[in-house]
Structure 1
Amino acid sequence: MTAPHSTPTAPAASGSAPEPYALTAAELLAAYAAGELSPVEATASVLDRIEAVDPRINAYCLVDREAALAEARASEERYRRGAASGLLDGVPVSVKDLLLTRGRPTLRGSLSVAPEQDWDEDAPSVARMREQGAVFVGKTTTPEFGWKGVTDSPLAGITRNPWDPSATSGGSSGGGAAAVAAGMAPLSIGTDGGGSVRIPAAFCGVFGLKPTYGRIPLYPASPFGTLAHAGPMTRTVADAALLMDVVTGADSRDWSALEPPRAGYRAEVAQALAGGTLAGLRVAYAPTLAGAPVDGAVAARVRHVADLLGELGAEVEEADPGFRDPVEAYHTLWFAGAAKVVEHLDAERFALLDPGLQEVCRQGAARSALDYLGAVDERMALGVRMGRFHETYDLLLTPAVPITAFEAGVEVPEGSGLARWTGWTPFSYPFNLTQQPAATVPCGTGATGLPVGAQLVAARHGDALVLRASAVLHAALCAEGVVDTAPVG
């Protein structure tokens, strides 16, 4: 582990400017505008970083150097002409390989998806980034169809943690989180159906946001239904706000999408950082939910966050929402979605799937319509409970994950006795059931030297509140020197 430092970018040699790959998106845009750096230089730096680091991490399943440099040259020409206008003009980004990306295959970590087909459409978030001038360096890894909370697949193999390549990056957006943590693109867009942005953000020491369901349009509609969200993974909250201002744009292909927000998230975060206080916010601190065990070092780091929120002006009270673990309802909805994903496969192609995915698909196919509707009832009751809870509290603070990253290549920690990934993610999937905005804020390291994340949850539509509070908290943690960058490379 490298020595802690107060800035959220990768460290540079003493007395030297940071390499372009180490800059945040906001820093890159400022350097472009000032003529101090070109999009081609920044993109080449990121691509070189991928070439140097990714053989150990396996965060990317596709890198298109030629296409990325062509996009960067087009951006550089716009800057030269004084015509740069996009919010992400020239910024290297990565896209999880569940989201359609025009001109590049989206194989979803599966040997069952044929690469030989027309890839002529962008997912809504990808389309919005393209419109704003982003440079697409590649597609990041996912477990097959995003089905579990770690990232390995029959197609791409195992994605590893930049802090310790023997450990998992988490999942299912593990490739994106690892890429951001290791300086292999400052921005990544992922998906979160049960923690898939927040889990790898915690394990890799980056910021990750699952916004309110519908805030970021999705197309095609997820077979996992309204559990599935898209969200940013970044090194700073300001960068996440920037990406949110881009990807929350309207798209007619998602009938369930919310109206784009009127106020910009960047402005909200900038104002919060300028003020530097959380005075007036009411925060419920829950050391655990439904009695789930929490590693002692993780618990200590999250308790420190609770204390720090109080120092920043918030009214913090230890309080539990009081719900029982909704894992069975979640399993019914999630496993049924998995079965729907693969229902078109014949026996030969079904046999190519991850064995764990095969198992949950069989379980999902065995659930009845009444089972499904019963799970929906439990989901609705949980939503009512959380709605009432947030009449008293603006935010709920919990651990993001109750443990730090464990060995790569397995679904559950060895010796844990757990059957499925949901056994070690009790703080994430409940808020997919309720569709609430929730963020992982990196808050230091545990006993093994691997990152710990704290989770901030707000009522539905409270995305700006989560970003504002996260920004002020993250700045304070950076000032303390407890937030570091991945030491890989």
Structure 2
Amino acid sequence: MAADNTRLTATEWVAGFSTGELSPVDATRDALAQIEKHDPDLNAYVLVDADGALAAARESAQRWEGGNPIGLLDGVPVSIKDMFLTAGWPTVRGSKVIDPEQEWTVDAPITARLREHGAVLVGKTTTPELGWKGVTDSPLTGITRNPWQPELTAGGSSGGSAVAVATGMGPLSVGTDGGGSIRIPASFCGIAGLKPTHGVVPVYPASAFGPLSHAGPMARSVDDLALMLDVLALPDYRDPTSPPPPIASYREAVRRDVRGLVVGYSPNLGYVDVDPRVEVVVREAVEALADAGLRVEQVDPGFTDPADAFDVLWSTGAAFALDAMGVEDSSQLDQGLAAVWQRGQKRSASDYLAATATRMQLGIAMGEFHQRYDLLLTPTTPILPFAAGHDVPPDSDYLDWPSWTPFTYPFNLTQQPAASVPAGFTEDGLPVGLQIVGPRHSDDLVLAACRLFEAVRPWTDGLAAF
């Protein structure tokens, strides 16, 4: 066990609970202490329920002492991005236009599964308004900051979750990903995050961003991603897009031997400008995987930038969400979101169908790619974390947030599983992410490749920025 318990993974905590060496109460107190210490500076949480968490932890401790844990995560402190309904807590999604004083009685599927498996729900993490962009700030909750250098952005939209995990404010969190929102902050904050195949993690209510939107685990180890996915992927009748329940455990599948697989490495997808500092770190990570037994070939997947199709689907989703909420006055909104709303209102049904056709063609192209290559490796983002409080790097030529994250949103369009794992650090100490993409429904394969990389380039010992 680690000398500093706040650095323990969820898997290590559960092992300690089973032997009696560790207690859910200690785990929860440690997480709460880290929140008290770091959250005033980093702003990862929008809500913390210390009393409720400690009460749940004491109940969990009694179950473990009696030899009757109720699930895979019994006693593990977990945070939830404030996009998921949570009975008893407001879900305001970073917006001033949602009334927090209304009655909150419904659990989203992920919340329900976490409760059923005994997780200790600590609180809810920050999000930009409606999770609309790749950084985490909102008119309601302010700016969420990077744990490595607080003057920089944590990324988004699941930035609060990434910061919470990276700083020991709980070993696990759940994020959403409609264009990179798990993978971007995972890369910027130096943790691991998985966007599963669309539908693997049931969602309710359905996201306004429809086929782009995914939910998934964020953690400090690949074993923890697999552990959490075994819980989150359990079925829920409220999501009709969900596939059948997994046949096997992700905790077992993550240990499959992937050496000998043929993988494609695309340093720029054929069209992306990449910061040389990012390129160097990612290339070294790919070389480590090749040395470990993957058969790596440098190749581009062969598609052009699908930014226009993504924008149509993204902007119409934003417009649908805000129209459904009855928003009439945009003055209280994030003004970037207001602009996307207005753009989406001008889109036609033909625009949407054309974008959907592009999405389908891209999926076919990637399906063909995966006939030859088991996996695709890329940088997670082409840039490093930039100044907090900005949607794009100041003094850059980027026009909007998707323009600086071109490696992530294509795989929301295709609905493939894609993970970001810590590839390494630049000379000035900023984390860089490696993205591992697999064919649809190959979440187990993606996790196994992530675990191989973790084995040859361990990151957890030096991970936490506190």
TM-score normalised to the size of structure 1?
A: 0.93
- TM-superposed CA distance for 1:345, in Å, is 5.2
Aligned position for 2:263: 283
Determine whether 1:374 maps to 2:354. Answer: yes
Q: Which amino acid aligns with 1:363?
A: R
Determine whether 1:208 maps to 2:193. Answer: yes
Aligned position for 2:218: 233
- State how far apart, in whole Å, the 2-side matches of 1:126 and 1:158 are: 25
Determine whether 1:389 maps to 2:369. Answer: yes
Aligned position for 1:99: 84
- State how far apart, in whole Å, the 1-side matches of 2:22 and 2:464 are: 24
CA contact (8 A) 2:417 2:439 kept: yes
- Indicate the SS of the match to 1:397: strand
- TM-superposed CA distance for 1:258, in Å, is 1.0
- State how far apart, in whole Å, the 1-side matches of 2:173 and 2:115 are: 13
Give 1:137-176 correspondences, 5 Å limit. Answer: 137-176=122-161
Alpha-carbon displacement from aligned partner over 1:10-53 (angstroms, at most 9, x marks no partner): xxxxxxx5233221101111111111111111101110110011
1:182 pairs, out of 143, 167, 187, with 167
Aligned position for 1:53: 38
- Indicate the SS of the match to 1:139: strand
- State how far apart, in whole Å, the 2-side matches of 1:406 and 1:448 are: 13
- TM-superposed CA distance for 1:350, in Å, is 2.7
- State how far apart, in whole Å, the 2-side matches of 1:422 and 1:42 are: 37
- Indicate the SS of the match to 2:106: coil
Alpha carbons of structure 1 residues 345 and 37: separation in structure 2 relative to 1, 3 Å: closer
- State how far apart, in whole Å, the 2-side matches of 1:445 and 1:102 are: 39
Aligned position for 1:300: 280
Determine whether 1:435 maps to 2:422. Answer: no
CA contact (8 A) 2:375 2:438 kept: yes
Q: Which amino acid aligns with 1:174?
A: G
Q: Which amino acid aligns with 1:318?
A: Q
Determine whether 1:484 maps to 2:462. Answer: yes
- Indicate the SS of the match to 2:150: strand
Aligned position for 1:24: 9
Q: Which amino acid aligns with 1:299?
A: E
Aligned position for 1:121: 106
Alpha carbons of structure 1 residues 483 and 25: separation in structure 2 relative to 1, 3 Å: closer
Aligned position for 1:266: 251
Q: Which amino acid aligns with 1:435?
A: Q
Aligned position for 1:6: none
Determine whether 1:85 maps to 2:70. Answer: yes
2:23 pairs, out of 14, 38, 50, with 38
- State how far apart, in whole Å, the 2-side matches of 1:222 and 1:267 are: 30
- TM-superposed CA distance for 1:348, in Å, is 5.9
- TM-superposed CA distance for 1:322, in Å, is 1.1
Aligned position for 1:456: 436
Determine whether 1:364 maps to 2:349. Answer: no
Determine whether 1:199 maps to 2:181. Answer: no
- State how far apart, in whole Å, the 1-side matches of 2:460 and 2:246 are: 33
Determine whether 1:469 maps to 2:449. Answer: yes
- Indicate the SS of the match to 2:283: helix
- State how far apart, in whole Å, the 2-side matches of 1:477 and 1:38 are: 30
CA contact (8 A) 2:7 2:464 kept: no
Alignment: residue pair count? 466
- State how far apart, in whole Å, the 1-side matches of 2:296 and 2:100 are: 51
Alpha carbons of structure 1 residues 338 and 216: separation in structure 2 relative to 1, 3 Å: same
- TM-superposed CA distance for 1:336, in Å, is 0.5
Aligned position for 2:55: 70
Q: Which amino acid aligns with 1:419?
A: L
- Indicate the SS of the match to 1:168: coil
Please provide the CA RMSD for this pair. 1.4
- TM-superposed CA distance for 1:347, in Å, is 6.3
Q: Once superposed, which parts of structure 1, at least 4 consecutive aligned residues long, lie more than 6 Å away?
A: none
CA contact (8 A) 1:404 1:446 kept: no
- State how far apart, in whole Å, the 1-side matches of 2:293 and 2:311 are: 39
Determine whether 1:339 maps to 2:352. Answer: no
Aligned position for 2:310: 330
- Which segment is superposed worse, 199-208 or 305-314? 305-314
Aligned position for 1:221: 206
- TM-superposed CA distance for 1:484, in Å, is 2.8
- TM-superposed CA distance for 1:77, in Å, is 1.0
- Indicate the SS of the match to 1:441: strand
- State how far apart, in whole Å, the 2-side matches of 1:344 and 1:285 are: 42
Aligned position for 1:311: 291
- State how far apart, in whole Å, the 2-side matches of 1:482 and 1:137 are: 22
Alpha-carbon displacement from aligned partner over 1:165-199 (angstroms, at most 9, x marks no partner): 00000000000001100111100000000000000
- TM-superposed CA distance for 1:476, in Å, is 0.9
Alpha-carbon displacement from aligned partner over 1:147-178 (angstroms, at most 9, x marks no partner): 00000011110000000100000000000001
Q: Which amino acid aligns with 2:429?
A: G
- TM-superposed CA distance for 1:486, in Å, is 3.3
- State how far apart, in whole Å, the 2-side matches of 1:373 and 1:483 are: 48
Q: Which amino acid aligns with 1:487?
A: A
- Which segment is superposed worse, 349-358 or 89-98? 349-358
- State how far apart, in whole Å, the 2-side matches of 1:78 and 1:27 are: 18
- State how far apart, in whole Å, the 1-side matches of 2:25 and 2:343 are: 49
CA contact (8 A) 2:188 2:433 kept: yes
CA contact (8 A) 1:407 1:413 kept: yes
Alpha carbons of structure 1 residues 244 and 347: separation in structure 2 relative to 1, 3 Å: closer
